[in-house]
């Protein structure tokens, strides 16, 4: 019996540096990857896409003639969104630019250190994210409808005590989805909100700042000992698990990664369920892998409520599917319906 051949994932590399184009090409030059073309800037890449469309694009941001952001905008205008990974040397200082790109349609990002590059680690990250992105649906990152929620006296209070908790977990494609959900929730909702987004430590503070600017909530990167307060949002800092303590404060834990990630959605959800019991709403959005499945199962077992994003609106359906496979999803709905479901479930909490 003949062995079925695997079709390689085709990749386009867009970078104005000859050295970086060659370096990235060499790193990803493995059997399951085909380098379809390289381009020196966005304009060059658009011309090549029209002739040979790759499965994934690795995109630099700072380039002459046409930069990465303009390239993404032009792909959208031309209605030919291709899964795009930002590959850049931007660090914490440039994290806002990377978040701009994620908000405008990029699926993920990889940062290249300015010094002491670990080739093997970088290669592993690139290959993993290329394979994940090849299965993604980037059009979901730029599709949005506006829903308004009318305040209900039953679920709002001026008190800061966090008797109720909402925990949101996401990964690939998540930053924009989290923003969509939070921007449609009333900013004085009577619950604390914890966000666990798989993201490196250089980016989570800027991510929190952006959510604060865009959503109307007070949003901060969590610190050790932070109190969970009503209508305030704490974002798990990169490289730390965010644990809910019995006194309803935050503990940042640097123990081993779970499912290869830190922060872990599971660890936050499990600890939240143990402390808040039936007064927890768990939400799992787009993302690769299984993180969040066990956490949502624990929330459900403790009498809490669970909501997952449906396949049709996910960039990657892995994490929501893991919840569904464990029979731990009370509601499976589109991204625009999730705030409505949160709002409805808030009325069922004590």
Say yes or no: 260 and 186 in one domain: yes
Beta bridge partners of 227: 249
Calculate mean pLDDT across residues 100-104. Answer: 88
Q: Is position 171 annotated as part of the catalytic site?
A: yes
Please write the tens of the pLDDT for every residue from 104-125.
899 999 988 877 889 999 999 9
Distance between CA 250 and CA 268 in Å, rounded?
A: 10
Say yes or no: 282 and 338 in one domain: yes
Q: Which residue among 122, 142, 162 closes a domain?
A: 142
Tell me if 342 is assigned to some domain.
yes
What is the pLDDT at residue 157?
44
Using a pLDDT cut of 90, give the percent of the chain over it. Answer: 77
Say yes or no: 138 and 248 in one domain: no
- The single residue of 108, 133, 198, 271 carrying the catalytic annotation is 198
CATH assignment at residue 136 = 3.40.50.2300
Please write the tens of the pLDDT for every residue from 52-87.
999 999 999 988 999 999 999 999 888 888 999 999
Say yes or no: 290 and 201 in one domain: yes
- The single residue of 88, 95, 162, 171 carrying the catalytic annotation is 171
Say yes or no: 302 and 234 in one domain: yes
**Number of domains observed in the structure of the chain:** 2
Give Cα separations from 83 to 132, 135, 172, 216 (angstroms).
10, 8, 11, 30
Tell me if 268 is assigned to some domain.
yes
Q: Is position 198 annotated as part of the catalytic site?
A: yes
Residue 108 sits in which domain range?
A: 9-142
What is the pLDDT at residue 151?
41
Tell me if 230 is assigned to some domain.
yes
Please write the tens of the pLDDT for every residue from 195-252.
999 999 989 999 999 999 999 899 999 999 999 999 899 999 999 999 999 999 999 9
- The single residue of 44, 55, 230, 291 carrying the catalytic annotation is 291
Whether the per-residue pLDDT at 26 is higher than 90: the answer is yes
Distance between CA 180 and CA 35 in Å, rounded?
A: 34
CATH assignment at residue 224 = 3.40.50.180
Distance between CA 188 and CA 349 in Å, rounded?
A: 16
DSSP 227: B
**CB neighbours (10 Å) of residue 76?**
16
What is the pLDDT at residue 96?
82
Say yes or no: 110 and 56 in one domain: yes
User: Does residue 162 contact residue 228 with C-beta atoms inside 8 Å?
Assistant: yes
Tell me if 158 is assigned to some domain.
yes
Q: Is position 291 annotated as part of the catalytic site?
A: yes
Is-above-0.85 flag for pTM?
A: yes
What is the pLDDT at residue 199?
94
Say yes or no: 188 and 118 in one domain: no
Tell me if 313 is assigned to some domain.
yes
Whether the per-residue pLDDT at 340 is higher than 70: the answer is yes
Tell me if 2 is assigned to some domain.
no
């Amino acid at each position: 019996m003949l062995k079925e051949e695997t079709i390689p994932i085709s990749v386009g590399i867009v970078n104005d540096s000859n050295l970086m184009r060659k370096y990235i090409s060499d790193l990803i030059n493995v059997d399951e990857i085909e380098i379809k073309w390289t381009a020196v800037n966005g304009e060059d890449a658009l011309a090549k896409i029209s002739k040979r469309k790759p499965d994934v694009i690795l995109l630099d941001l700072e380039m002459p003639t046409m930069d990465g952001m303009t390239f993404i905008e032009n792909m959208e205008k031309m209605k030919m969104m291709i899964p795009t990974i930002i590959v850049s040397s931007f660090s914490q200082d440039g994290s806002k630019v990377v978040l701009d790109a994620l908000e405008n349609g990029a699926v993920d990002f990889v940062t290249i250190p300015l010094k002491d590059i670990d080739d093997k680690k970088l290669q592993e990250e690139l290959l993993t994210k290329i394979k994940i992105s090849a299965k993604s649906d980037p059009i979901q990152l730029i599709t949005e409808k506006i829903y308004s929620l009318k305040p209900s006296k039953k679920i709002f209070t001026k008190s800061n005590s966090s008797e109720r908790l909402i925990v949101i977990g996401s990964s690939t494609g998540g930053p924009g989805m989290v923003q969509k959900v939070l921007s449609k929730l009333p900013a004085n909702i009577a619950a604390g909100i914890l966000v666990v987004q798989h993201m490196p430590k250089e980016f989570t503070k800027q991510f929190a700042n952006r959510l604060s600017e865009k959503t109307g909530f007070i949003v901060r990167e969590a610190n050790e000992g932070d109190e969970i307060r009503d209508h305030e949002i704490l974002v798990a800092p990169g490289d730390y698990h965010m644990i809910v303590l019995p006194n309803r404060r935050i503990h940042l834990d640097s123990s081993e990664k779970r499912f290869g990630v830190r922060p872990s959605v599971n660890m936050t959800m499990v600890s939240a369920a143990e402390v808040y019991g039936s007064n927890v709403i768990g939400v799992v959005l787009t993302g690769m892998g299984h993180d969040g499945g066990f956490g949502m199962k624990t929330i459900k077992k403790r009498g809490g409520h669970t909501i997952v994003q449906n396949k049709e609106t996910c960039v990657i359906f892995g994490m929501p599917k893991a919840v569904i496979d464990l029979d731990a999803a009370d509601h499976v709905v589109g991204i625009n319906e999730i705030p409505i479901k949160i709002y409805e479930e808030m009325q069922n909490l004590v």
